[in-house]
Amino acid sequence: MKLLRVGPPGQEKPALLDREGKYRDLSGHIDDLVGNHLNASQLKSLAAIATDELPEIDGDTRIGPCVGHVGKFICIGLNYSDHAAETGAEVPSEPVIFNKWTSAICGPNDDVKIPRDSQKTDWEVELGVVIGKAGRYIDEADAMDHVAGFCVVNDVSEREFQLERCGSWDKGKGCDTFGPLGPWLVTPDEVADPHDLGMWLEVDGKRYQDGTTRTMVYQVPFLISYLSRFMSLQPGDVISTGTPPGVGMGQQPPVYLKPGQQMRLGIDGLGEQRQRVVADE
């Protein structure tokens, strides 16, 4: 299934994308796509619904983040060998973990705001993993049982805030609108191999990122198991798993986003995002 949330910010309702590309209203069955509705039993019940009997929603309706009320937005840094190389960094001996604040989350086609005093706002297309089953100390062999689905993430990053100012990466990663999620939450039965997906990102029609999840260093089952050693994973948590090469800071010379530009990005089978870049007021 391809699940989504549609409507104005803060008023989104759950929906399903049918085989004809129409949005179908699920609000008669669940109140929202949030943690307690992302378990395997609930998803199986949604999959059994006759979609042509669900009310149709106007296709021009705004798409919101594909998961509501996210508890944790956990990110993995330098997790693609070719991206590490372009930044001059070594592949880490253990996953690099940082956080995006949940206030960074926005819809896949919402405007991305360049923060005040920013000179180095950058882009990163990433595979997002949405947790559907809680767990601690999860065995790697069981890790995929904890996945509700996958989505596209744009890990927007302010590089000066992240790397040149003292403190953690987090303050360059969690600015408002720096975490577009969606358009769809795609259930695992529709993703044959999350480690064999093409992914790309364009700015004003120029393709900067054109990679594949095949170059991911630490794969999804390992990441879930690893993270669960240090925190419990809860339904609705999102893990953003790293980016392939082609980010702005890796260009020669570096290229960063400016107001008025347009980003377009996607991952095979998971849909596309489109964002206009604006200056924050």
Q: For residue 30, give the amino acid letter.
A: I
Note whether 26 and 14 are within 8 A (CB): yes
Q: So what's the pLDDT on residue 90?
A: 79
**Exposed, middle or buried, 58 (CB in 10 Å: 0-12/13-18/19+)?**
exposed
How do residues 116-149 score in pLDDT, each as one tens digit? 999 999 999 999 999 999 999 999 999 999 999 9
Mean pLDDT of the 208-212 span: 97
The tens digit of pLDDT for each residue in 144-186 reads: 999 999 999 999 999 999 988 877 889 999 999 999 999 999 9
Indicate whether 175 and 228 sit together in one domain. yes
Residue type, 204: D
Instruction: Find the CATH number of the domain harbouring 172.
Output: 3.90.850.10
Three-state SS at 226: helix
Does some domain include residue 78?
yes
Do 20 and 118 share a structural domain?
no
Of 11, 30, 57, the position where a domain reaches its end is 57
Look at residue 62 and tell me if it is in a domain: no
Task: Looking at the structure, tell me whether residues 39 and 146 fall in a common domain.
Answer: no
Residue 255 lies in a domain: yes
Quick one: 31 and 165 in the same domain? no
- Over residues 244-264, the pLDDT tens digits come to 999 999 999 999 999 999 999
Identify the domain containing residue 35 by its residue range: 2-57
Q: Specify whether 266 is located in the same domain as 197.
A: yes
With respect to residue 64, please indicate whether it lies within any of the assigned structural domains.
Answer: no
The Cα 255–Cα 82 span in angstroms is 18
Q: Let me know whether 137 and 82 are in one domain.
A: yes
Sorted by sequence, the CB contacts under 8 Å of residue 3 that are 6+ apart come out as 14, 15, 16, 17, 26, 33, 46, 66, 149, 184, 185, 186, 187
CA 142 to CA 146: how far, in whole Å? 8
**8 A C-beta contact, residue 154 and residue 123:** yes
The answer to the question of residue 228 being in a domain is yes
Q: Decide: 138 and 109 in contact? Cβ < 8 Å.
A: no
Are residues 165 and 242 located together in one domain of the fold?
yes
Please state the separation of Cα 231 from the chain's center in Å.
Answer: 20
Q: Are residues 16 and 152 in the same domain?
A: no
* Co-location of 143 and 20 in the same domain: no
Closest CA to 177 of 270, 108, 242: 108
Residue 66 in any domain: the answer is no
> How many structural domains are present in the chain?
2
